[in-house]
Structure formats: C-alpha cells, structure tokens
Amino acid sequence: MDILPIRTRIDQIDTELIKLLNERFALSEHIALYKDERHLPITDLVREKALVSHLQSQAKFPVEPLWQRIMGISKTFQYAFLSKKHNQQNVGIAIQGGKWSFNDIALRSYLKTQKIIPEIHYAYTTEAVLSLLNEWKVMYGQFAIANSIGWLVDETIQVLWKYDFTYEEHYEIPIEHSLLALPWVHRNEIGMIMGHDQALRQCQWTLRSVFSDVECIAGTGEYMDNAAIAAGISDGSIAWNTACIGHRSLADIYGLEIIEDHMEDRKDNRTTFVLVRKSY
C-alpha cells in the first residue's frame, strides 16, 4: 500500500475543515450580537447538550471532547467581540478573592468545562467585583452566594441591590478549611484567628472546641478575603501570632504552615458561586 495518496487526501480534508471552521467562527460574531441585543448569556448549556447529542447520532467517533473545544473557541470569539463592542480593554473575570482562594479554585474548576482561559482579576470583595463590572473593566464577575453551613454570604447579599448585572450561571465546590500560621508560631502562641465571616461560621464549633481561648475575628476591608489575610500575615501587615482560615494551598503560596486541617464543622461543606455579566 502507498501511504502518500492517503496522506494527500487527509491534507485535503484538513484544508476543507479549516475553511468550514473559519466560517463557523466568523458566525460567532452574529450569535454574540443576537445575544447581546436580547440580554442572553453567552453560555447555553441546553443548546450545547442538544447539539452534541445530534452530532453524536451521525458520527462514528466520540463527538463531545472535540465539540466542547470547538464551542469553547466559539464562545471566546463571542466574548472578544462583545469586549470590543463595549470598548473593554480585556475579556476578564473579576472574582471575590485572591489567588488560590476558594473563589479562585471554583472559577478554575468551572473554566475547565468551558475550555476557555480569560484573564482573572483578583478583586477580593463582592463590591469590588461588581464595581469593576459596572465600569466595563471586565466582562464577567464571580462571587460566593451561599454555603451549606453558613447559609447566605452577607457580604454579597448586602451589595447586590446597588449594581445592574445579568445572571450567567452558578456552580458549587466542596470546601475544606485549614488553619494556617507562620512556621515558627506554635499553636499555643496563636493570639488571634482571622478569616472571612463565612469561613468562621463554617468552622465555629471546631474553633470553639479546639481553640476556645483564642479570639476569632472576621476580616474587613482589604482583609475580608482569606487569601488576603494569609498574605498580610506573611508580609507582616498582620500581627505575627495571627492564624487564618483558608485553603491549604495558601500555606505554600505565602510561606505559612498548616496548624490544623479539616476545620469545617461538617464534611458536606459546599459553597455555591454565581457567574454574572454586565447588563447591556
């Protein structure tokens, strides 16, 4: 068998595929414009599921992995088109947290299913997220809305009424809290425990039983977020004998040590996050 004719035909097919994909992605702008004018979200999971199912009925290979990637690229084109239309400098997502906060972990988990990589802006608070969205500095925002132990996230609920935005999607992740402190701080030297109000709620019974003699304080302002508190302890902005509640990965990032793992009061601890976009 001569392989050359087969490779030649494959090259021809690939060229035809590129032409068709170029046409498909060019149509993404028209789809984006349609959704923009009708205030519809870019992501349409019902449509995506129906399309994959329809194509799979015709294909002799697994369609979903390939088409998830194609649809992800198409959505990236739509984001870019709307960003340019509204004179945005980037197609970013602002989140209510710092790097490797639970907000960051939730977004990264969600983006794996979307096959897109937008720029992430660490805004730390829900108010800052919605402010960036309102000023067209980002196209999307994400924040925590509720937790299975701590219930509604007060920080979020208190500011939602002030801004105009459109709901895009929601998702949840399991939450496992660790207690972190500087490496040379022994557990009996901890003078204060700081964390987001929700983090303290989710660990309140554990804190009362294990650290009953230590004052627990909810962070405020720039130190409302667990990641920001960890950074503050690391750089000396917060007292050296302060411990913080947060994801265990913060220990590696900020040079802290894990004093205690699994601080949450229940193993079924889960937080729901909401993805929103600017209302046009």
Is residue 242 located within the same domain as residue 191? yes
Is residue 130 located within the same domain as residue 160? yes
**Token pair for 144:** 């925590």
Is residue 224 located within the same domain as residue 243? yes
Is residue 182 located within the same domain as residue 259? yes
- Give the domain range for residue 22: 3-85
Residue pair 279/141 in contact by the 8 Å Cβ criterion:
no
Give the pLDDT score at 130: 95
Number of domains in the chain: 3
Is residue 184 located within the same domain as residue 129? no
Give the pLDDT score at 136: 73
Is residue 69 located within the same domain as residue 99? no
Give the pLDDT score at 171: 95
Per-residue pLDDT of the chain (280 residues; tens, 9 = 90+): 789 989 999 999 999 999 999 999 999 889 988 988 887 878 788 898 999 999 999 999 999 889 888 988 888 788 778 777 776 555 689 999 999 999 999 999 998 877 666 789 999 999 999 999 887 778 899 999 999 999 999 999 999 998 888 888 999 999 999 999 999 999 999 999 999 999 999 999 999 999 999 999 999 988 999 999 999 999 999 999 999 999 999 999 999 999 999 999 999 999 999 999 876 5
Is residue 98 located within the same domain as residue 78? no
Give the pLDDT score at 170: 94
| Distance between CA atoms of residues 251 and 72, nearest Å | 33
The pTM is what?
A: 0.69
Give the pLDDT score at 87: 64
Last residue of a domain, one of 85, 119, 136: 85
CATH number at residue 195: 3.40.190.10
Give the pLDDT score at 90: 52
Give the pLDDT score at 112: 83
How many other CB atoms sit within 10 Å of the CB of residue 70?
15
Is residue 43 located within the same domain as residue 104? no
Is residue 67 located within the same domain as residue 144? no
CATH number at residue 13: 1.20.59.10
Give the pLDDT score at 148: 95
Is residue 105 located within the same domain as residue 159? yes
Is residue 112 located within the same domain as residue 74? no
CA-to-CA dists, residue 79 to 108, 130, 238, 277, angstroms: 18, 18, 39, 11
Is residue 239 located within the same domain as residue 182? yes
Give the pLDDT score at 75: 82
